[in-house]
Structure 1
Amino acid sequence: MEFGIHIGARGALAAPAHLAAVARQAEALGYATIGIPDRLVLPRAVATRYPYTEDGVWVGAQTGECLDVIGALCFLAGITRRVRLLPSVLVVPYRPAVVAAKMLATVDVLSGGRLIAGVGVGWLEEEYAPLGAPAFARRGAVTDAYLAAMQALWTEEAPSVAGPDVAFENLLFQPKPVQSRVPVWVGGESLAAMRRTVRFGDAWYPASHNHATPFDTPERLAAGMARLAQAADAAGRDPGTIGTVLLWFKPVDWTERRTTDGARRMFTGSTADLREDAAALAAIGVRQVIVVLQAPTIEETEDRLARFAADVIAPAQG
């Protein structure tokens, strides 16, 4: 099983030198993937409930400083050589389908074929209107239409699409991505996200701590994977062709933390505990875990990257 890192290109890591240092260190230490979230503007008032905290409050609203994910990934493409580059995740309705397809293809070309297209529908309703995005209530249908259009643009010589949400015909779309098929990881924890994965995805990419549908234990995640397999069977797709990648959406901590029911929270505790957690996820068939190691300072972040690599990645990979 592989490991990647999820880093917010904001705060200390919005500084180019710091972002570059973390990316180079992650690559040198054997992390497989660097994921950066998609955030363009932040409303000063957020009423939408945040899915990934118990109280529904999003602490990210405290600062508006954030780099564009595509620009940040292009920057990383130029300073790394091996690590895969992941929008974690690209909120598909935020950009017209043709524009998003070109942006992602550009990342793949500049990186020499290292893009993973992490995609999702987003959760922050207040961000939709300022971007001129389609109605928040239609985000699922729009995402499906845009993804179909993007795949046509990436793979067809004279792509044409006709639909209510996106339409074009007989375009020249060059350069194509370096990869003959750009891997698509579909984010989300709902049944709709699973069905979207079956239709478009190479992997399902749920976050661990959605309080409506938590996947914060191997047992809960395995149950979700079983539902994904059922959705694949119903659609006539072999479930074995779909991987699972878990975004562990709580900070890794070498101090033990407890869940509300008193159990030890995964990826907290001793080195042995962390290794046990990694082994448990590998045992149920998880392909990769994307972890959060970002700390308030660049020095702390680098220390955590090195420690997790030594304690967990090296033993897990033999």
Structure 2
Amino acid sequence: MFPSADSITPADLALNAERCGFESVFFPDHTHVPLGDGPPGYSGHDVPEFYRTTMDPIVAMTAAATASTRIRIGTAVCLVAQRDPIILAKQIASIDQLSAGRVILGVGAGWNDEEMRNHGTEPSTRFGVLRERVEAMSAIWQQKEASYEGKHVTFDRMWSWPKPVQVPRPPVLVGGGGPKVLDRVLSYGDGWMPFREGTDQVSDALTGAVEEFEHELTRRVARLRRLAEVVGRDRPSVTLFNACPHRAALDRYREMEIDRVVFWLPSLGTDDTVDTLHRLDALFR
């Protein structure tokens, strides 16, 4: 959910989701919306209201973590190419400590070129920047005296605490659906977070578009796990973001060996959001 000043709070979302028995809650990341005259769908004049008003995910995660005791707290996704890796490493480790090891870090390279440029990241370098910053944060989390040298990130030996509770690090889920995303998962991720286009109004009937998406997703999940076995990697998890909230669709996701499904919640107040959580919970009863 995109939390805002007018929506349910991140703390109340996590607490109510925990009471319903959900495994995790996820928050998105957009620091601002540039008002340039970019292509349709990319200008600030075109994006939905919830993009403009969303809270910072690190703050939202902290509130959610301290209000709950069991539910996992994640990002879907953190725009790492727009964040300082040394600061972000400390923030994520701190939340993992506060939550007793409940953080899931979904990461992405971003899609808004002007937003990236405002943070000093050239869009053409964003995938390389993302990889190096994840690797650099992993070094900080895992090493007593961390250092890293890359094209985009370089620092000499340093001390940085706290370390995450989770060893060797909080799970890193690589978002995206491009042709090279599976390589990125195997290179520096622990799992893949593909995105389903569409709304919750889609019925659970298999339309041509749904069938095509699920066929391709099944093929890529199988390929990811074959490649992981070939290179001796642990089995990467798969988290489907914006899952279709219908019982038949959930049955198909199980058959496709999807590990986790994440439902998109509208940015609404407490009562409406809690009603939605109960409706989603009923799908599993």
User: Over residues 155-202 of structure 1, what are the superposed CA-to-partner deviations in whole Å (9 max), with x where a residue is unaligned?
Assistant: 011111112211112211111001113111111111322111111222
Determine which of 181, 203, 206 is the counterpart of 1:193.
181
Contact 1:195 1:232 (8 Å CA) reproduced:
no
Aligned: 1:246 with 2:240: yes
Alpha-carbon RMSD across the aligned residues, in angstroms, is 2.5
Pick one of 266, 271, 278 that aligns with 1:306: 278
Q: Which amino acid aligns with 2:277?
A: L
Quote the Cα distance in structure 1 between the aligned partners of 2:107 and 2:118. Answer: 20
Matched position secondary structure for 2:240: strand
**Please, what TM-score do these two structures have when normalized by structure 1?**
0.78
Runs of 4+ in 1 over 4 A off after TM superposition: 48-51, 213-217
Q: Tell me how far apart the structure 1 counterparts of residues 217 and 181 of structure 2 sit (CA, whole Å).
A: 14
Between the aligned partners of 1:103 and 1:176, the Cα distance in structure 2 is 10
The amino acid that maps onto 2:162 is P
Structure 2 CA distance for partners of 1:46 and 1:220, relative to 1, 3 Å: farther
Structure 2: stretches of 5+ with no match in the other structure: 199-208
The 1:67–1:186 alpha-carbon spacing in structure 2 relative to 1, beyond 3 Å, is same
Judging changes above 3 Å, is the alpha-carbon distance between structure 1 residues 10 and 62 closer, same or farther for their aligned structure 2 residues?
closer
What are the residue-to-residue correspondences of 1:11-30 with 2, within 5 Å?
12-13=6-7, 18-30=9-21
For residues 94-133 of structure 1, the C-alpha deviation after alignment (integer angstroms, 9 at most, x for no partner) is 112111111111111111110011111011111112223x
Is the contact between residue 41 and residue 47 of structure 2 (CA under 8 Å) also seen in structure 1? no
Structure 2 counterpart of 1:223, from 219, 223, 226: 219
Q: Residue deviations 1:54-97, cap 9 Å, x none?
A: xxx95325762221110111111110111101011111111121
**Which residue of the other structure, out of 163, 166, 177, is the alignment partner of 1:176?**
163
Q: For the structure 1 residues 176 and 231, does the alpha-carbon distance in structure 2 shift closer, same or farther, using more than 3 Å as the test?
A: same
Q: 2: CA distance between counterparts of 1:138 and 1:91?
A: 13
Q: Percent identity?
A: 27
Where does 1:1-318 land on structure 2 (aligned, <5 Å)? Answer: 7-10=1-4, 12-13=6-7, 18-45=9-36, 47-48=38-39, 50=41, 59-60=47-48, 64-132=52-120, 134-181=121-168, 182-209=170-197, 217-229=213-225, 231-232=227-228, 236-238=231-233, 241-248=235-242, 266-267=244-245, 274-294=246-266, 296-310=268-282, 312-313=283-284, 315=285
Structure 1 portions without partners, runs of 5+: 1-6, 52-56, 250-265, 268-273
How many Å separate the matches in 2 of 1:220 and 1:279?
Answer: 17
Residues 31, 83 of structure 1: 8 Å contact kept:
yes
Which one-letter code corresponds to 1:165 in the other structure? H
Q: 1:237 to 1:24 in 2, by over 3 A?
A: same
SS at match of 2:137: helix
Contact kept in structure 1, 2:10 and 2:61, CA below 8 Å: no
Structure 1, residues 268-287: CA drift from partner, whole Å, max 9, x if none?
A: xxxxxx22211110111000
